[in-house]
A = this chain, B = another copy of it.
Amino acid sequence: MARRRYLYRGRILALALEDERWEIVEHKDAVAVLAERDGRVLVVEQYRVAIGARTLELPAGLIEPGEAPRQAARRELMEEAGFDARLREVLSFYTSPGFTDERITLFYAEDLTERRRPPDPDEALTVRWVETERLLADLHAGRLRTSSPTVAGLLWLASRR
């Protein structure tokens, strides 16, 4: 029987050793939102502490206790960009199942409605609409510093053409 011994329990993750051998990170599940309008995709430019650099990513965030994934996605889209939408689940996957149980669900936003102005851009986070073709070209050229749900979302769009 597998035994999991916890070395750390924190705010968004816990670290454990399974059978005194496997390093496991338990992590809250997450959501990401793919919103496209007029040939542009909604992306967030932000500084990521873990990699010490700025990224361009689909809006994303953690699922809070008691939330359904779809609710979390809707909340993130509103908080980060000021939009409401009808959300369709596209796919889900484990980000890196070799060491963490984090699972992310990607939603596609339909019937986008602007409810309020997006937050003022600041150093921490800027919302932008970037041409889908440019994002795909940058991805293929190795010029896009981004996350796994962003790659999944962009390639999903490209595969539907």
Residues of A at the B interface (CB closer than 8 Å) are 2, 7-8, 10-13, 15, 18, 22-25, 27, 30, 48-52, 55, 57, 60, 62, 89, 91-104, 139-140, 142, 144-152, 155-156, 158-159, 161
Contacts and interface: CB of A to CB of B under 8 A. Distances in A.
A155 B13 CA distance: 29
Contact of A147 (B18, B55, B89, B96): B96
Number of copies of this chain in the oligomer?
2
B55 A97 contact: yes
Nearest to A96: B95
Contact of A92 (B95, B98, B142): B142
Contacts of A55: 94, 97
